[in-house]
Structure 1
Amino acid sequence: MAPRPEGVKPTCVVITYSVSKDIKAAREVLDERGASVHYIIDKDGTQKEYHNDLTDQAFYAGKSSWKGEVGVNKFGIGVMLINDAKSDFPKEQIGKLKSFFTDLAERYPDLDLKHDLVGLGEVTVNREENAHIAPGSKFPWKELAEAGFGRYFETTQEQKSKLLLSPDSTGEKVNTLQGNLKEYGYGVESTSTFDQFTQQAVRVFNDRYGTGLTGEEPPVSWTEAGQDVLSQLLGQTVLEQTENAKFKK
């Protein structure tokens, strides 16, 4: 833990999972790594606070960025859920998380929990090693969005089965995708190649919005479903959506 930089207030909330079985084990792993989070929520809904979310930065994100701002620890609130990275998140745990977000919204009226609620994997896509995927494909983003936290858009199986770009793709369409992912908030640069960072960004995007190519694991290809969701997230104009229609051809 360290103080937040002077004048810096929380502007995003970052969700991760523990992999460890309980709070005690999670704390031991965090301590061994010199890492920390502001809060941990157990499977039964028990919540523990470890650092002041206004004055303290916790160390959970490492090399990271969100919406062009580097070093998410400085301006993020880190929340860890006890989960083994494979199982569903219990209703008691998610219920507590919703209550916690409601409290945050009351304490920080300027904190945008619709647009700046992210997974750890989303803020670490620009890592060459040890990129995260947390909170993973089991995390109920749709349920949270229905409660007013984060966003989610429905897509069809037909859209998920239509491949637009894959890891061997190159060229202007890849460049356009990279630019759109960066505009959304990911730490992706335009290279015109479907590089490692782009694959990492696409994977966590697909995990979050359920837009991965049907049957692909890990979901690192770009589909019509992903393109439609990204267009809606960016609030693109009719003209831009027309351009994206050309992208799909």
Structure 2
Amino acid sequence: MLRLSLILAAAAVLAGCATRGPAGLDLDTSVNAVSQSSRVRAIVIHYTTEDDARSMQLLSKGKVSAHYLLSPAGRAHRLVDETRAAWHAGNSSWYGITAMNSTSIGIELVNPGWTQGADGGRVWHAYDDRQIRALTILVRDLIQRHGVAPENVVGHSDIAPQRKVDPGPLFPWKQLAAAGIGRWYDEAGAAAQLARLQAEPLPAPAWFQQQLQRLGYASPQTGTLDRATINVLAAFQMHYRPARYDGQPDAETAAIMMAMP
């Protein structure tokens, strides 16, 4: 009788290691392989161009989605579990990876983006400090849990420069970098490079294209300053030199590139 009790107890322990799977499958989840990593390689930041209510509707009921939605007041909503792919990146590429929906976490910030000013130009809308504080807390946690490298915290415009401009020139990339989030450049090194470059001929378009590719951007390698290259340069400038992002190669842009590992 004692032996039978021991056998039943052992069976109960083994049964505790099994989970009832699909169609009656006994699925044992007691062993977890050591050779694995997070599917998440990048964090992509967007703006919604809509208000709170419309943003929630589009991202939860529409044909696009994001893992997180942050309101201007700093309230965070998780709309897609991190283990699943959200449909936020579209046609995009970063360091040659094109499956960005499958390898990234998308964060949407409720922000109008830009509106047309009286002179016909774009008027960009600033981000609320509460929203940026919430974003900082969220992204720090994501980086820690998923091991995301600094260069892989990017904007939609970085991974899709031919069609996207979000999160725009008023997004505080430098502020986030100071908080340990994302990539920034050695400003002292860039100043030294700029002083040297101002006394030399500007590098050729092919050099800028090579640098953009080295830094993760999907840049043409045509050797000419074509429209596609201008778009990629503008995306780089919007991220690292938002005071002027006309997509034209210049000494300051080159100096910043040289100051980035």
Fold match, TM over 0.5?
yes
Q: 1:185 aligns with which of 197, 203, 216?
A: 216
Aligned partner of 1:144 in structure 2 is 176
Distance 1:19 1:87, change over 3 A: same
Cα separation, 1, equivalents of 2:100 and 2:86 = 10
**Larger radius of gyration between Structure 1 and Structure 2:** 2
Length-normalised TM-score, structure 2: 0.73
Aligned partner of 1:48 in structure 2 is 77
SS at match of 1:78: strand
The equivalences for 1:28-107 within 5 A come to 28-30=57-59, 34-53=63-82, 55-85=83-113, 86-107=124-145
Aligned partner of 2:205 in structure 1 is 174
Runs (4+) off by over 6 Å: none
Q: Residues 212 and 222 of structure 1 are in contact (CA less than 8 Å); yes or no, is this contact kept in structure 2?
A: no
Distance 1:8 1:150, change over 3 A: closer
Q: Residues 93 and 160 of structure 2 are in contact (CA less than 8 Å); yes or no, is this contact kept in structure 1?
A: yes
Cα separation, 2, equivalents of 1:32 and 1:39 = 14
Cα separation, 1, equivalents of 2:222 and 2:243 = 22
Aligned partner of 1:10 in structure 2 is 40
Q: Which amino acid aligns with 2:155?
A: G
Distance 1:133 1:97, change over 3 A: same
Cα separation, 1, equivalents of 2:154 and 2:63 = 22
Structure 2 segments unaligned to the other structure (5+ residues): 1-35, 114-123
Distance 1:33 1:220, change over 3 A: farther
Q: Residues 123 and 186 of structure 1 are in contact (CA less than 8 Å); yes or no, is this contact kept in structure 2?
A: yes
Q: Residues 16 and 119 of structure 1 are in contact (CA less than 8 Å); yes or no, is this contact kept in structure 2?
A: yes
Q: 1:199 aligns with which of 222, 226, 230?
A: 230
Length-normalised TM-score, structure 1: 0.76
Structure 1 segments unaligned to the other structure (5+ residues): 1-5, 166-171, 236-249
Aligned partner of 2:156 in structure 1 is 120
Distance 1:67 1:51, change over 3 A: same
How far 1:27 sits from its partner (Å)?
Answer: 2.8
RMSD (Å) for aligned C-alpha atoms: 2.5
Q: Percent identity?
A: 26
